[in-house]
Amino acid sequence: MAERIKISLCYASGPNPLLRAMEVDAGTTIGQAIEQSGMLQDAPEINLVTMPVGIYGKKKTLDTVLQARDRVEIYRPLIVDPKNARRRRAKKDSAGES
C-alpha cells in the first residue's frame, strides 16, 4: 500500500475561497492533486494553462511533487498592477495634504 500524505488546496475566488484538505499518495504532483480535489468542477473559471500555482506563496510548476503538509495555491490573475495602485494611492495622499 502506498504511503499517503496530507495536503491542503486553496483558491481564493472572491468572498468565498475554496479550501480542501485531502490525503494523496506520496509522489502526487500539484496538477494531479488539483484534478483529484474536484476544484476544477467547483470553479470552472480555473485554467491551469494560464493561472499560476504555488506552495506557500512560492510559484511552482504543475509537475512539482508534493510533500506532507504542503498547501497548494491556485493564483488568480491580478486585476490591478500593484505598483500602479500604490502610485495612485501615494498621489491621492499627497494631493490631500496640500
67 in Cβ contact with 60 (< 8 Å): no
CA distance 92 to 21: 42
Given this model, what pLDDT does residue 59 score? 96
Q: Name the 3-class secondary structure at 52.
A: coil
Over range 49-58, report the average pLDDT.
95
Q: What is the pLDDT of residues 25-49, one digit of tens each?
A: 999 999 999 999 999 999 999 999 9
Given this model, what pLDDT does residue 97 score? 63
